[in-house]
Structure 1
Amino acid sequence: MKIVVQVKLMPEADQAPALSATLHSVNEAANWVSAVAFERGVPREYELRKHTYGELRARGLGSQAAQHTIKKVRDAYTTLKANIKAGNLGKPGSKRRTKAETKPVIFRPEAAQPYDDRCLSWQYDVQTVSIWTTAGRIKNVRFACSADALKTLREHRQGESDLVERDGVFYLVAVCEVPEAEPYEPGGFIGVDLGIVNIATTSSGYQAAGRGLNRHRKRQAGLRRKLQAKGTKSAKRLLKKRNRRETRHAANANHIIAKTIVTEAERTSSGISLEELKGIRQRVRLRKPWGHLPAEGWGRVALHSWAFAQLGDFIVYKAKRAGVPVVFVDPAYTSQQCCECGRIDKKNRASQALFTCRNCGVVAHADRNASRNIAQRGEAAWTAGRESRVPATP
């Protein structure tokens, strides 16, 4: 299983300008390669190398840096093509899709640049790296990370590492190949229902309320709005300083929720049943303001900016490391189906928080009822998959 470990570089005063200049140079070169690729109809990497490699070497890029730059450009066009095919950039003829199809891919001056072991070496004992730059190779660049991250790097680092600059701070993002634990046979399944009022509700009793996080995000949105309206230099500096703060806060919350769910499943020898995330933004409705959400407009912002997929990814990779089985199920009608009698009725959902079965009279929290339905479907899916793996009788 591949995971990434991020470390913070702490270069000396004479080292930082070389790192910054290197990123600017390779990304300026990448923009030139991108223009050549676009002009020639985005040829394959080998053919693109024939048209650009010599010029990149003349610009002062090393052999490996030139090849990584070409590969980075070709990968960017591959990703763009996949996004267009999947409809992520809109329908044919839409403004966004037309813009993407009619212009070369552009790289930011601080965009990530991949490094392999020929141009980047790690010294774990003293926590330093030796890295190639356009000004020559720089040695003894210190880095900082947690003890767990350092252990993961030392034992499992494989492949490339990306150098990236964010707000004047340099980071290395290293790829690590971590072995997956052998999954056990679950004694049951914990269903996880995702939402906004309650970010995650499990059939085992855990509930991660979204009140605090939504309050934090609403406050951040208000501060951004005020600073943008002010428009002064100091306001712009504050906006830049606060950049990505909300993203980091939400990611930290997702990590905590995912770890809690996986730890509970591992402790009880249970599997985890997750709902398929495709179409979740269409299934979650905002016809009325929800409880603590002050207005429908803010509810829509909360819906379309919440990282549902990130939370699911965190649960999956933490479960794989712990050997916890995970299944995905269709969540259709789980909020309208009674977990006791199985009756599906739209009127069963009395309100956002209350579920009352019109057939058997069960009264429960709506999200808890949905999580129990997801758990039951997960157990059924696991049983069906296990039976399909049994060898046929000769």
Structure 2
Amino acid sequence: MLDRTIEILSDLIAFPTVSSDSNLEMMAYLADRLEAAGAKVDVLSDAVGRKANLFATLGPEIDGGIVLSGHSDVVPVTDQVWSTDPFKMAERDGRLFGRGTCDMKGFIAATIAMAPVFAKKIQHRPLHFAFTYDEETGCIGAGHLAKELKQRAFRPSAAIIGEPTGMRIIEGHKGCYEYTTRFQGLEGHGSIPDQGVNAVEYAVRYVARLLDLKNELRSKAPPRSRFEPPWTTINIGALNGGTVHNVIAPKAQVDWEMRPVQVSDATFVKEDLKRYCREVLLPEMQKTHADADITTEIIGEVDGLVPVDHNEARRIVSELTGANGADLVSFGTEAGIFQNLGMDVVVCGPGSIEQAHKADEYLERDQLAQCLKLLERLADKCAAPAPG
């Protein structure tokens, strides 16, 4: 089974599903594999037909099923120095190298390899496969899938999100809110700055405000926060604007994110920034140029995974792995979207987040074997009646 999984993983790595590109060929491959195993498969296209989610079911279409979920997209390899072709899997020293091996095509490959086994063993409790697009750019695909699942007659009750956790059980993580803030100023000659509105200068002041808020959030950490770090974080991803040295920059853009540990922190940051723009920056900009403006685009506002006392998914994975307890992580996943649909959710998958997004990303062969053991035991679990 491990060798078969590695072959499938090699195929998946060969699909260069960077978030900016289509994932349709990979989804067609997954659909063919699942249909061959006897699954009912729906490939759900996005609005323009360049990308798709996949939702498949083995067993009866009834309430109480278990979802195995992963995202198909990967981050770019631009400006990264790889020792091998990132889209051609290589194995050495027990490690499987390639873009997406741990984040998170390894988990997807394991579920596809196990599909025929699941098909033979499932009797009463359905098993669902949910593969999404554009997780890396705001969990867009999962948001669209959630709308689709709300319309279905049956509701799964538990979900396992296979992000790389070293096969640890994760019951909570911070939210991930991503934004692009754009500044429209007025172009002019650099020698007469008072006759223009320098968008870069106002963008820098906006970033300074973000940095002040970043420091202030440290004091707002919940007293018993289990997150590391325990407070809401802010990151400035990019600052772009201007053209040449002697032209007043008419446009600028700030890409930034925050990872709230509590919704109140996100509200605090957004309200503070709106007030700062409305009362300070915009009046100054529009004094010189009435059409000057500041706009913020929401790239994605993905809620965190909230730890709960009663979590069937946590109980199931604990029983299958023998692990005691569950942890929290700071990185975001699609788990909160599934939780908001009423499912009990955990994150558990092969590989380390420390390898994700880097050159020479890899997945330990042993981690993949551990994942397969979990899924083999889950197959036996699916032979039993669903609860309730």
**By the TM > 0.5 criterion, same fold?**
no
Whichever structure has more helix as a proportion of its residues is 1
- Which structure has the larger Rg over C-alpha atoms? 1
- Point out the structure with the larger strand share: 2
Coarse TM-score class (shorter-chain normalised): under 0.3
Bigger relative contact order (CA 8 A; separation at least 6): 2
TM-score, normalised relative to structure 2? 0.28
